[in-house]
Amino acid sequence: MIMEYLGRNLESHFKKLNYNFSLKTVTLIGEQMIDRIQYIHSKGFIHRDIKPENFITGINNNEKILYLIDFGLAKRYKSKNGLHIPYRDGKNLTGTLRYASCNTHLGIEQSRRDDIESIGYCLLYFLKKKLPWMGIKAKNNKERFKKIMDVKINTKLEIICDGLPKEFAIIVQYSRDLRFDEKPNYQALKKLLRKVGDDNFFPFDGMFDWISNKNNNYKNDNDIINNTKSDNNHENYKDNDNDEDNDKDNKNDNGKDNNSKENNDNKIENNNNNKKDNNYEEKDDLKFDENLILKESDFL
């Protein structure tokens, strides 16, 4: 098998630049993230583990391109006959805790909306350097899962996004408001990011910070050998879904922690099996610009 040689992942670039990405770079990243996940969704799959470590930069003539990797947790959201998978709850958490969607924490089957929400959290992480649910201490994984879920669900977006262009809050809010089987409006999401560029007078020229700031202290991507190793100890969890039988009861799924020594207590007990699809969050006071509302006509 021959594979294309790639550069650093986004977490590695972020660390190398002292956890400081410019607004321009984050906006450029966001647009390409949405492009990549739109393509994956168009093929009938959801990724289910969107995080900075899974976006890799190209090298040489492709240094301005981001590549999405690691499809170990990917799953069909459409059956072979084109029908969307059914809504289910009581699921174990699949993906990376830091960037998992609110519905994923609540044990709801993942769909396209969850990949979009995870992209939103990646962008907020790059802009804020730390998310409110990072660094939470607990006695064990079960307790930490619960604390992270509570903070993520109950912290208002206007607090998380304080000081940022409102478009980033709109992206996360929009993803949370999507119905389970609803197709995201990818074009309108990218339009929001383009507006950030227009408002702040920077071009979408692919000049990321690690390209424009190349110097002797920043090793060129051509010298990178281990390009997919995570720089952080993110917890990654997987359930044992059978794509051929999406209606099968999943209560015996086992989570797997790929990076932590504490891997024996990684299941969340969900006592809210009767929760409805979109009642997990308290509405905040964000006022959305009518000109930025995502419309079906944007697909045309």
Q: Which residues does the annotation mark as catalytic?
A: 49
| Distances from the Cα of 203 to the Cα of 36, 174, 193, 257, angstroms | 20, 25, 11, 40
Tokens of 263: 């891997």
| Distances from the Cα of 37 to the Cα of 10, 46, 86, 116, 177, angstroms | 16, 8, 21, 8, 18
C-alpha 142: how far from chain center: 22
**CB atoms inside a 10 Å sphere around CB 125:** 22
C-alpha–C-alpha distance, residues 221 and 138, integer Å: 38
C-alpha–C-alpha distance, residues 62 and 58, integer Å: 5
C-alpha–C-alpha distance, residues 155 and 69, integer Å: 30
C-alpha–C-alpha distance, residues 8 and 1, integer Å: 21
φ, ψ at 277 (rounded to 5°): -60, -45
Name the residue with tokens 């805790």: 97
Task: Give yes or no for a contact between 129 and 19, defined as CB atoms under 8 angstroms apart.
Answer: yes
Task: Give yes or no for a contact between 108 and 89, defined as CB atoms under 8 angstroms apart.
Answer: yes
Name the residue with tokens 């209606």: 247
C-alpha–C-alpha distance, residues 64 and 90, integer Å: 41
Name the residue with tokens 């084109």: 82
> Would you list the DSSP string of 124-135?
HHHHHSS-TTTT
